[in-house]
Amino acid sequence: MNAVRLIPPSALTHSVQATIPLASSKSESNRALIIDALTGFRCDLQNLSTARDTQTMIRLLKSTDNIADVLDAGTTMRFLTAYFSITGQKKTMTGTPRMCERPIGILVDALRVLGADITYLKQAGYPPLQINGFAPATESTNRLSIRGDVSSQYISALVMIAPLLPSGLTLELTGAIGSQPYIDMTLEQMRYFGAEVQADWEAKTITVAPEAYTPKPYAIESDWSGASYWYSVAALATDQTAEINLLGLKAKSLQGDSAIVDIMRSLGVESTFTESGVQLTKCPTAETLAWDFTDCPDLAQTVAVCAAVKGVVLRLTGIESLKIKETDRVAALQAELQKIGAELVEIEPNHLYEVHQLAITPSAPATIDTYDDHRMAMAFAPVAMRHEIIIDEPGVVAKSYPSFWDDMARVATVEFM
């Protein structure tokens, strides 16, 4: 399967009415799995994600192999590096070539202070790495300073193992804090499983007591990041009576990507929460939108593509971290938006960007490259509500949302080529 062709629904014969089951959250799943492992696998986890990132986590937690290959899963790499360290397991941590370009030095430095013996196998600061063992450091090292502006995953990884440290842990976060809702998600899940955790966001400190987790049943919510593509489908649908029901989402979510509800109100989608999830219907669209994606970086591609096709001028800030994700997402968006008659312009270096529509109808069906990035494929797929489009390497969606194309077939014609 090298590409998928998506053909718009016929405006005359096809109303857009769909119920989408959605994958469950890989972020919540991967945290629950680490906490479950730290209780000796005694929690009953329900609705775990089918995402490859979660399936990789499950496989590696059970494996007795010395080599842990996380493929392209960032959370799996960062959370397992902390988990294997604290549990004293000797492991070689590796992943795809891109994973070996994604920095991990900030986490490794912190784990070393806490007592982990970790060596780099190639380039300092990057996977692959070797975990050799763990000798808990003295009480005085239960306080660490750590940068908050590179990846929140380092912070989540550290706090999740902190209940097992002899004196717990206090983290002082320095610099701006990116992806903070993901840290809040970690702390909420830890509290649910009985950990004693305090966060002071004014003072930028997190304190975790040396209090063991309590095993409990836990059900994972549907994935709000995956839901964002359906918001874009609703926003781009030409059928004014379009209605999409997304199952398993809650108004009060642990996931910061539920911010899509507010963002998409400006792009023409109204959300109504129901007993089973959320119902999307159409509402008027704004002419411009400015959004800071610091708290929800995974939504930036969805919103950029949607605004480009609708002709809404979008000002984006807080997208610095996109450069160190599955691909350089800023560069990838710049290259691929051009193919659908739009541009992403850097207005202030590495800070403020704008999306502009340049042409209303692309001259021919665009073929979108996906750069081994699931979100490139899924962010561009909703364009099919207006124009035929071809997406290269559609298998990339398996990282977070394996049933994405099956779900897409409910609103457009999907032909694998």
Ligand X SMILES: O=C(O)C1=C[C@@H](OP(=O)(O)O)[C@@H](O)[C@H](O)C1
Ligand Y SMILES: C=C(OP(=O)(O)O)C(=O)O
Listed ranges 5-13, 174-182, 188-196, 208-216: which one lies at the site for ligand X (CB under 6 A): 174-182
Closer CB to ligand Y, residue 18 or residue 379? 379
Min dist CB 238 to ligand Y, Å, is 29
- Of residues 177 through 216, those in contact with ligand X by CB under 6 A are 178-179, 182
User: CA-to-CA distance for 16 and 25, rounded, in angstroms?
Assistant: 25
Assess contact for 60 and 70: CB atoms under 8 A.
yes
Min dist CB 337 to ligand X, Å, is 20
- Would residue 318 be called left, alpha or beta, if left means φ above 0 and alpha means ψ between -120 and 50 degrees? left
Q: Which does 152 bind (CB under 5 to 8 A by kind): ligand X, ligand Y, none?
A: ligand X
User: CA-to-CA distance for 23 and 311, rounded, in angstroms?
Assistant: 30
Annotated binding site for 3-phosphoshikimate: 26-27, 31, 151-153, 179, 298, 325
Residues making contact with ligand Y (CB under 6 A) = 73-75, 298, 325-326, 375, 400
301 scored as a contact of ligand X (CB under 6 A): no
Residue 414, C-beta contacts closer than 8 angstroms, at least 6 positions apart? 4, 5, 6, 405, 408
Q: Which amino acid is located at 34 in the chain?
A: I
Q: Which does 156 bind (CB under 5 to 8 A by kind): ligand Y, ligand X, none?
A: ligand X
The DSSP bridge partners found for residue 278 are 246, 273
Q: Which does 168 bind (CB under 5 to 8 A by kind): ligand Y, ligand X, none?
A: none
The DSSP bridge partners found for residue 207 are 170, 198
- Of residues 56 through 85, those in contact with ligand X by CB under 6 A are 75
Q: Which does 178 bind (CB under 5 to 8 A by kind): ligand X, ligand Y, none?
A: ligand X
* Helix/strand/coil (H/E/C) assignment for every residue in 254-322: CCHHHHHHHHHHHCCEEEEECCCEEEEEECCCCCEEEEECCCCHHHHHHHHHHHHHHCCEEEEECCHHH
Min dist CB 31 to ligand X, Å, is 7
Q: Figure out which of the listed residues 55, 153, 258, 301 binds ligand X, where binding follows CB under 6 A.
A: 153
Closer CB to ligand X, residue 182 or residue 230? 182
Closer CB to ligand X, residue 128 or residue 178? 178
Which residues participate in catalysis according to the annotation?
A: 298
Q: What x/- string results for residues 304 through 343 when contact with ligand X is judged by CB under 6 A?
A: -----------------x----------------------
Query: Given the rule CB under 6 A, which residues bind ligand X?
Result: 27, 75, 151-153, 156, 178-179, 182, 297-298, 321
